[in-house]
């Protein structure tokens, strides 16, 4: 039975979704059907399609009581909206259906696990959110909440675990048919931990152990975990809140964290070997992964930043928030690599190549422009010249605006800067990252899709993502060097 709350959301999104022209949205990055979008949820393959749900408030371009929006795709690039899947309509989730995940039950039904939120008035007059884990069962379009919800609450947690910060379950089935789920939580020390739960059938859940503990190392609360095997290692992704910077690896605020290590399936112990950021740009959070039909591990994140997301879109624009590109993951030299989903190449048109261009001062090249492009740039010092001091690519450019990526080889620092993108708010517009290069040789691949840039460095060793709302007429691209750079450029339009 569709509740009144869900029925209203479905009616609203159907009516108002149509009023947003396609060219006012990103082209191949998923944006909400109407209103607000944050985290990807329930990213999975079900009944012959990829399903991506998302944190959703259809009625406004700001965060509000969370619903789950829903879209499906065959290639992860072209999405079709389905009706909203969940609405906050039960006593145990009346203030929000927060993030979670999905799996297919042996009988073919689709099982969603999500966090139910209920605000609780505190003695000091403030409010805290009690968070529990809940289930919904469905057929890929319509979902019915489980009659025994919530299936995990504070009664199933060890002493000291917060009942307020307990969210974002990721669930999977083991080879022996039993189920596991992990969720973010705060232990007594107030920092983050990822808890592991087991279930014989996916419906009845028991606490097992802490899979990973923050101990105040990287941010505080750890949100939105994902856990999977990749190239012989185990990867735990999570999104820490309240970080302080650590060199150029982690920055202030909410960020993303990848722990790489080993997992003993017998003892269910995860041994962390290394940690790194997932994305080094400005806008990326709460990623989830799916295993594609041909065995690739593909990740999509919310291409936004909690500290800057309330400063731009107005109600008139009709939508706010978008997902990142789907990125293929691998581990090379102990690090997480990301490359754009290879199917993106089928959207390439109008190949333009410029080889061995000498860049000194500012250079523009024939046919190198656009806001929906895939462009690879390889740079090196010009033969016979000293190492250049700085190289930059400016894009989304006209007389008024540009966004840039600039590289100083002597510092090994790559900077993304959208100060001149047209923003009128004093929010974060720059971020710097250490990158590897051999005496000034660097490879960059930029994907632009109207309102965003994702820069893949050195074949996916790092990625820097940022949204930009520059007028679409600003589609110029130029290259700048302080010193002399030798450069190859291959550019495609993405259509
Ligand atoms: C992360 C997050 C999740 C939560 C959701 C609420 O971006 O805070 O932890 O489930 O957003 O919308």
What are the residues whose beta carbons fall under 8 Å from the beta carbon of 266, sequence distance 6 or more? none
Ligand 1 atom closest to residue 302's alpha carbon, by position in its atom list: 7
Tell me, yes or no, if 39 is annotated catalytic: yes
228 in helix, strand or coil?
strand
Q: Please report the pLDDT score of residue 330 as a whole number.
A: 98
Position in ligand 1 atom list of the atom nearest CA 223: 9
Q: How far is the CA of 67 from the centre of ligand 1 (A)?
A: 12
Of 39, 168, 449, 493, the active-site residue reads 39
Residue whose Cα lies nearest atom 8 of ligand 1: it is 223
Distance CA 347, CA 341 (A): 11
Q: DSSP letters along 151-202, please?
A: SB-GGGS-TT--SSSEEEEEEEE-TTS-EEEEEEE--TTSS-EEEEEEESSS
Mean pLDDT of 208-227: 98
Atom of ligand 1 nearest to the CA of 115: 10
Answer whether residue 314 shows pLDDT above 80. Answer: no
Give the number of the atom of ligand 1 that is nearest the alpha carbon of residue 99: 10
For residue 315, name the pLDDT band (cuts at 50, 70, 90).
Answer: low
Helix (H/G/I), strand (E/B), else coil: 123: coil
What is the distance in angstroms between the CA of the first residue and the CA of the last residue of the chain? 40
Pocket flag, ligand 1, residue 167 (CB < 6 Å): yes
Q: Check whether residue 12 and residue 108 sit in a common domain.
A: yes
Q: What spacing in Å lies between the alpha carbon of 239 and ligand 1's midpoint?
A: 10
Lowest mean pLDDT among 121-125, 341-345, 416-420, 480-484: 121-125
**CA 98–ligand 1 middle distance (angstroms):** 6
CA of 39 to the centre of ligand 1 (A): 6
pLDDT band, very low/low/confident/very high, at 310 (cuts 50, 70, 90): confident
In tens, the pLDDT along 45-67 reads: 999 999 999 999 999 999 999 99
Instruction: Return the ligand 1 atom nearest residue 306 CA.
Output: 7
Q: What's the pLDDT band for 144 if we cut at 50, 70, 90?
A: very high
User: What whole-number distance in Å separates Cα of residue 298 and Cα of residue 329?
Assistant: 6
Give the confidence band of 312 by pLDDT, cuts at 50, 70, 90. low
Number of structural domains (the chain) is 2
**Shared domain check, 353 and 321:** no
Residue 170 beta carbon below 6 angstroms from any ligand 1 atom: no
- The verdict on 455 and 331 lying in the same domain is no
Best residue among 42, 54, 168, 219 to mutate for probing ligand 1's pocket (most ligand atoms within 8 Å of CB) is: 168
CB-based contact 185:161 (threshold 8 Å): yes
| Residue with token string 């990721």 | 170
How would DSSP label each residue in 429-444? -EEEEE---BTTBEEE
- d(CA 278, CA 324) in angstroms, rounded, equals 12
Rounded CA gap, 306 and 396, in Å?
A: 24
The verdict on 296 and 360 lying in the same domain is no
Tokens representing residue 167 in the block: 């969210």
In this structure, the answer to whether residues 98 and 242 fall within a common structural domain is yes
Q: Nearest-CA neighbor of 100 among 150, 148, 174, 162?
A: 150
223 CB less than 6 Å from ligand 1? yes
Give the tokens for residue 133: 């884990």
Write the CA distances from 55 to 8, 86, 98, 386, integer angstroms: 17, 10, 7, 51
pLDDT in tens, 3-21: 999 999 999 999 999 999 9
For ligand 1, whether the C-beta of 66 sits within 6 Å is yes
Evaluate: CB of 168 within 6 angstroms of ligand 1.
Answer: yes
E-strand spans in 17-174?
A: 35-46, 49-57, 67-73, 79-86, 97-104, 110-121, 127-138, 143-145, 166-173
Pocket test for ligand 1, best of 97, 99, 255 (most atoms within 8 A of CB): 99
> What is the per-residue pLDDT for 491?
98
The CATH number covering residue 383 comes to 2.60.120.560
Residues 418 and 316 in one domain: no
If asked whether residues 266 and 375 sit together in one domain, one would say no
User: What pLDDT shows up at residue 1?
Assistant: 73
Does the model's pTM come out above 0.75? yes
SS3 state of residue 315: helix
Identify whether residues 215 and 338 lie together within a single domain. Answer: yes
pLDDT given at position 172: 98
Residues 367 and 337 in one domain: no
Q: Which of 261, 297, 262, 301 is nearest to 278 (CA)?
A: 301
433 Cα–ligand 1 center, Å: 26
Whether 350 and 216 map to the same domain: the answer is no
Q: Is the pLDDT of residue 316 over 90?
A: no
Q: Are residue 181 and residue 169 in the same domain, yes or no?
A: yes
Predicted pLDDT at 317: 85
Work out the average pLDDT over 223-249.
Answer: 98
* CA pair distance 356, 448, nearest whole angstrom: 23
- The Cα–Cα gap between 162 and 214 comes to 14
Which of 283, 312, 343 delimits the end of a domain? Answer: 343
| Secondary structure class of 357 (helix, strand, coil) | strand
State in Å: Cα 217 to ligand 1 middle: 21
pLDDT band at 449 (very low <50, low <70, confident <90, very high): very high
> What are the C-alpha distances in Å from 163 to residues 28, 64, 119, 131, 276?
38, 21, 12, 6, 29
Taking CA atoms, 417 is separated from 131, 398, 427, 457, 459, in Å, by 37, 16, 12, 16, 21
Mean residue pLDDT of the chain comes to: 97
Q: What is the domain-level CATH number for residue 209?
A: 2.115.10.20
> Is the Cβ atom of 99 under 6 angstroms away from ligand 1?
yes
Q: Of 325, 343, 361, which marks where a domain is finished?
A: 343
Q: What mean pLDDT is predicted for residues 150-177?
A: 97
Is the beta carbon of 224 within 6 A of some atom in ligand 1? Answer: yes
CA distance 153 to 140: 26
Determine whether the shortest distance from the Cβ of 55 to ligand 1 is under 6 A: yes
What's the CA-to-centroid distance between 487 and ligand 1, angstroms? 42
Ramachandran region of residue 334, left (φ > 0), alpha (ψ -120 to 50) or beta? left
Which ligand 1 atom is at minimum distance from the Cα of 66? 12
pLDDT tens-digit readout, 79-118 = 999 999 999 999 999 999 999 999 999 999 999 999 999 9
CA–centroid distance, residue 104 to ligand 1 (Å): 23
Round to whole Å and give the CA distance between 24 and 20: 7
C-beta of residue 162 within 8 angstroms of C-beta of residue 185: yes
Dihedral pair phi/psi, residue 192, rounded to 5°: -105, 160
Examine residue 124 and say whether the peptide bond preceding it is cis (omega within 30 degrees of 0).
Answer: no
Ligand 1 atom at minimal distance to the Cα of residue 224? 9
162 with 134: CB under 8 angstroms?
A: no
pLDDT of residue 311: 76
Q: How much is the pLDDT for 37?
A: 98
Of the candidates 234, 223, 7, the residue with the CA atom closest to the CA atom of residue 98: 223
Average pLDDT for 432-454:
98
**Rg of the Cα trace of the chain?**
23
pLDDT for 68: 98
| Residues 196, 320 share a domain | yes
Owning domain of residue 372? 346-494
Q: What is the mean pLDDT of the segment spanning 244-251?
A: 97
Percent of the chain with pLDDT over 70: 99
115 lines ligand 1 (CB under 6 A): yes
Of 318, 343, 368, which marks where a domain is finished? 343
């Amino acid at each position: 039975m569709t509740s009144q709350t869900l029925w209203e959301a479905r009616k609203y999104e159907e009516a108002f979704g149509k009023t947003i022209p396609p060219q006012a949205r990103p082209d191949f990055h998923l944006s909400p059907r109407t209103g607000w979008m944050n985290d990807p949820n329930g990213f999975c393959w079900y009944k012959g399609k990829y399903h991506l749900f998302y944190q959703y408030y259809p009625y406004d371009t700001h965060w509000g009581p969370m619903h789950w929006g829903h879209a499906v795709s065959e290639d992860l690039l072209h999405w079709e909206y389905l009706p909203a899947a969940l609405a906050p309509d039960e006593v145990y989730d009346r203030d929000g259906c927060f993030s979670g995940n999905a799996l297919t039950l042996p009988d073919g039904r689709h099982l969603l696990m999500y966090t139910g939120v209920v605000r609780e008035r505190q003695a000091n007059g403030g409010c805290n959110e009690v968070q529990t884990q809940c289930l919904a069962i469905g057929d890929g379009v319509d979902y019915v909440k489980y009659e025994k919800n919530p299936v995990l609450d504070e009664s199933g947690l060890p002493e000291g675990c917060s009942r307020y910060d307990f969210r974002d379950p990721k669930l999977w089935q083991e080879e022996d048919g039993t189920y596991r789920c992990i969720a973010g939580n705060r232990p007594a020390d107030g920092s983050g931990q990822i808890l592991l739960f087991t279930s014989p059938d996916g419906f009845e859940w028991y606490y097992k152990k802490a899979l990973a503990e923050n101990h105040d190392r990287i941010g505080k609360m750890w949100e939105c975990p994902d856990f999977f095997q990749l190239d012989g290692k185990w990867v735990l992704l999570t999104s820490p809140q309240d970080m302080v910077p650590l060199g150029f690896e982690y920055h202030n605020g909410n960020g993303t964290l990848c722990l790489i290590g080993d997992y003993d399936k017998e003892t269910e112990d995860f041994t962390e070997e290394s940690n790194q950021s997932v994305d080094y740009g400005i806008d990326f959070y709460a990623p989830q992964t799916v295993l594609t039909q041909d065995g690739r591990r593909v990740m999509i994140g919310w291409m936004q930043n909690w500290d800057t997301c309330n400063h731009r879109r107005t109600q008139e624009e009709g939508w706010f928030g978008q997902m990142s590109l789907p990125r293929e993951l691998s581990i090379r030299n102990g690090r997480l690599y990301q490359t754009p989903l290879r199917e993106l190449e089928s959207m390439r048109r109008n190949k333009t190549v410029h080889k061995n261009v000498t860049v000194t001062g500012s250079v523009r090249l024939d046919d190198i422009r656009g806001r929906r492009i895939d462009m690879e740039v390889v740079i090196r010092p010009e033969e016979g010249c000293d190492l250049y001091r700085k190289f930059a690519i400016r894009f989304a450019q006209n007389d008024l605006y540009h966004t840039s990526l600039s590289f100083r080889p002597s510092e090994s620092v790559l900077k993304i800067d959208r100060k001149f993108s047209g923003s009128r708010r004093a929010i974060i517009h720059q971020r710097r990252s250490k990158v590897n290069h051999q005496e000034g040789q660097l490879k960059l691949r930029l994907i632009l899709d109207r309102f965003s840039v994702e820069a893949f460095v050195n074949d996916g060793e790092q990625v820097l993502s940022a949204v930009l709302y520059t007028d679409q007429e600003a589609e110029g691209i130029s290259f700048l060097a302080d010193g002399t750079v030798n450069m190859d450029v291959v550019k495609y339009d993405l259509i």
